[in-house]
Amino acid sequence: MKNIFFNAHHSPAGAFATFTLGYPDASGGFGIELGKPADHDVYVGLESVDGSAFELLPFFDDHNAGRERERYEVDAATHADTSSTAEGHLASDFIPDDSEPWITGFDHEQIRRDFQVGSDTWSAGDLTFTIHTSMPAIPDPDTASVDALRLPLLPAVAVEVTVDNRGCDRARRALFGFRGSDPYCGMRNIVGPNQIRGVGQGRRVAIMSADVDVRPGLGFQLADILRPKHPEDLDFGLGICGALTFDVPAGVVRTVRFAVCFYRDGIATSGLDGRYYYTRLFRDIEEVGAYALDHFDELTLASREADAVIDNSNLSDDQRFMLAHAIHSYYGNTQLLDVDGRPVWVVNEGEYRMMNTFDLTVDQLFFEMKLNPWCVKNVLDLYVERYSYRDQVAFPGEDSLHPGGLSFTHDMGVANVFSRPGYSSYERPGLHGCFSYMTHEQLVNWVCTAGCYLAQTGDWSWYRKQESVFRDCLQSLLNRDHPDANHRNGLMGLDSSRTRGGTEITTYDSLDASLGQARNNVYMATKTWACYLALEAVFEHAGEVGLAQTSSEQAERCAQSIVASADVDGRLPALIGEGNTAGIISAIEGLVMPYYMGLSDCISPTGRFGALVRAMSRHLRAVLMPGVCLFPDGGWKLSSTSDNSWLSKIYLCQFVAREILGIDGADITRNADAAHVAWLVDQKCGYHAWSDQMVAGHALGSRYYPRGVTAILWLDEGSRESKQEARAKTFVYHRNRNRKAKPVAAQPAA
């Protein structure tokens, strides 16, 4: 049995908000803009059949109860023996009672969870608790009407609580509530128009319902709300717990609808002054709740439709779980801002909260292209406008500088602070490891992301706006290979002057040099090859014959360099020509790009780059071995020399292995996936929802993270023919492009 008590995000789109739930104790709750769970007590429960107790799902901490009142009742707190006060009765009214034995948790064994991408359903005894989210496609705010934006950008999550009281001859009370943690504002009851009732904290988070007879209540502890001595006690403003309760008559099944709502008022970011886009659509959290409850059917329908996307796939149970889990975490990190009327799309980086980290953008690309291609363009544009820079480059160990060129920053800021133009929050000079510059990686990422965007949307009007950027990117890539065209090998050979004597790193910043060093890295090489292919295709379409030709030649040089580096067993060294012979799975990563740009011939073992594709197959087979790139449990180890392996990249490489290289089997799928699932739901790691950096199977970094949506690629796997057909429909670029010159990246292979 898989452990079901892991946290998952349940999030609207673009609100950087989450109802996180699933890990035991006060480990979930209602978070806005946090890099971790809010650690609220979340109360979901039902009175027992005999009325003697309340049984709750295990998402609260008994030890939190009862302490609050001590701050007010100084005498009572200091006189445990009440007889020592003169009159006794005053102090004894409120001797703190830490434990209410009639508030208990359901036995874990009694609890079932059905975790899907849209719905997450907990059931125990006669109680069922479902959180509904979906995978909304957000219309481009620049062209969509306000009405069309309200539902997809609604900062709320739908929740249903069902009580089956058919087996009971008395009414039973059920509850849904929480204990907040906002440092600035108190808890409150909400009594709105249209019968809306709610509990919330300040103006930021709230649970609301419009169902009849749902009662809001506040108290120092949950017990005060469930069994108030007087109805007025429910309005106790000093309460730090809030819950909505309702009664279910004997013999009936009742479902009550709740909206979990979020609202962050005012200007939320600095550097660029951004407010949440939803603040244009809803005046305050009450309006959010009213809209959500008024459109509840649409929300639950969207949840079911999301479930169906994965239900109708050919994925295994393990795959379904990981894809769903990753999508939950992705939405929790999304943030749509309004900066002086302009929409700005941000994906925050999980526990680190860096904004639009570019090496995540390039991986989340495949997910966003399916739902919100305009978000991809939005990010690319802001990178050009504000987060691009020009540098010089140097050979390792040399001081003399050569022309460099255009590149892009690692990120756009951190934790709602946009960094200054031309600089990320992350990169620093003089380093060889973590926090060094990722100049080449982000240059490649811009081109690959832009190439996919163009290929799949055919948005050539955008290309024309960014034409010079594409040209500058090519020149920058060339300069980073070798200042002398005759010595170019397609690989990155020089480091940015911004490193000030350091060395550039890759996205794998916390790994050793096998994946961490950018220069001559075979992971970077394959992505660079893909990048040249993108430029070739784009320039070709644009009639830039010379630039297309240059790009084509560089792609071929790069492929040759990679192929030539293989050892006698077919293994490619992590660092080409640098003596680092670690084996890295990520060598194959870049193959995904031509696939999604529709450049099928380029990834065919018999096509234009057949030698490279075959080299990749041989390499992967060589390293995907126990003790090399497989952990003892069957999980994938991205580098043979590091225990730090990243799930998002594993997902991507699994796709490449199966769909492009045709390598499948237990290692690729069943054994590995079982191990990966075990990592995620591990009793320690499960707190962090979906996490990326797994050190020997333990989530130690990149936790609470959005990047796992690379698993969306799995949905595109299948029989080659049907997939080709699907792609032919999807890949607008490929369909529309006006082919010229030589047929690089030509027809999809039959």
Query: Per CB under 8 A, which of residues 489..508 are in contact with a copy of itself?
Result: 500, 505
From 237, 397, 546, 627, residue interacting with a copy of itself (rule: CB under 8 A): 237
From 417, 678, 732, 746, residue interacting with a copy of itself (rule: CB under 8 A): 417
Residue numbers 623-662 binding a copy of itself by CB under 8 A: 639, 641-644
Counting beta carbons within 10 angstroms of the beta carbon of residue 158, is it exposed (0 to 12), middle (13 to 18) or buried (19 or more)?
A: buried
Span near a copy of itself by CB under 8 A; candidates 230-238, 376-384, 477-485, 651-659? 230-238
Q: Does residue 68 touch a copy of itself according to CB under 8 A?
A: no
What is the phi/psi pair of residue 262, to 5°? -130, 145
Span near a copy of itself by CB under 8 A; candidates 79-87, 292-300, 439-447, 718-726? 79-87
Which CB, 517 or 600, lies closer to a copy of itself?
Answer: 517
From 51, 63, 72, 80, residue interacting with a copy of itself (rule: CB under 8 A): 72
Span near a copy of itself by CB under 8 A; candidates 148-156, 225-233, 476-484, 529-537? 225-233
Instruction: Say if residues 359 and 371 touch (Cβ distance below 8 Å).
Output: no
CB of residue 366 vs a copy of itself: minimum separation in angstroms?
25
Span near a copy of itself by CB under 8 A; candidates 231-239, 593-601, 609-617, 657-665? 231-239
Output the CA torsion sign for 624, 630, 635, 640: negative
Q: How many CB atoms neighbour CB 541 within 10 A?
A: 22
Q: Given 3-state DSSP classes, what are the helix, strand and coil percentages for the chain, each rounded to the nearest 5?
A: 40, 20, 40
Which CB, 281 or 745, lies closer to a copy of itself?
Answer: 281
CB of residue 482 vs a copy of itself: minimum separation in angstroms?
24
What is the phi/psi pair of residue 201, to 5°? -125, 120
Q: Does residue 433 touch a copy of itself according to CB under 8 A?
A: yes
From 107, 114, 284, 311, residue interacting with a copy of itself (rule: CB under 8 A): 284
Q: Does residue 517 touch a copy of itself according to CB under 8 A?
A: yes
Q: Does residue 729 touch a copy of itself according to CB under 8 A?
A: no
Which CB, 45 or 413, lies closer to a copy of itself?
Answer: 413
Q: Does residue 80 touch a copy of itself according to CB under 8 A?
A: no
Residues 6+ apart with CB under 8 A from 178: 29, 30, 40, 41, 42, 43, 199, 207, 241, 242, 243
CB of residue 82 vs a copy of itself: minimum separation in angstroms?
10
What is the phi/psi pair of residue 656, to 5°? -60, -45
Distance of CA 642 to the CA centre of its chain: 24
CB of residue 148 vs a copy of itself: minimum separation in angstroms?
26
Which CB, 89 or 487, lies closer to a copy of itself?
Answer: 89
Describe the crossing of helices 522-541 and 439-457 by its angle, rounded to 10 degrees: 40
Which CB, 118 or 217, lies closer to a copy of itself?
Answer: 217
Q: Which residue has the tokens 């739901």?
A: 681
Which CB, 188 or 527, lies closer to a copy of itself?
Answer: 188
Q: Does residue 352 touch a copy of itself according to CB under 8 A?
A: yes
Residues 20-59: x where in contact with a copy of itself by CB under 8 A, - otherwise, as a string: ------------xxx-------------------------
Q: What's the rounded Cα separation, in Å, for the pair 554 and 182?
A: 54
Identify the DSSP state of 573.
P
Q: What's the rounded Cα separation, in Å, for the pair 640 and 623?
A: 8
CB of residue 73 vs a copy of itself: minimum separation in angstroms?
5
Closest-CA residue to 724 (of 591, 592, 600, 597) = 600
Counting beta carbons within 10 angstroms of the beta carbon of residue 731, is it exposed (0 to 12), middle (13 to 18) or buried (19 or more)?
A: buried
Q: Does residue 288 touch a copy of itself according to CB under 8 A?
A: no
Q: Does residue 71 touch a copy of itself according to CB under 8 A?
A: yes
3-class SS letters over 279-324:
HHCCCCHHHHHHHHHHCHHHHHHHHHHHHHHHHCCCCCHHHHHHHH
CB of residue 25 vs a copy of itself: minimum separation in angstroms?
19
Instruction: Say if residues 387 and 463 touch (Cβ distance below 8 Å).
Output: no
CB of residue 354 vs a copy of itself: minimum separation in angstroms?
8
Q: Does residue 693 touch a copy of itself according to CB under 8 A?
A: yes
Q: What's the rounded Cα separation, in Å, for the pair 634 and 255?
A: 43
Span near a copy of itself by CB under 8 A; candidates 126-134, 259-267, 318-326, 476-484? 259-267
Q: Give the binding-site size for a copy of itself (rule: CB under 8 A).
A: 92
Q: Does residue 87 touch a copy of itself according to CB under 8 A?
A: yes
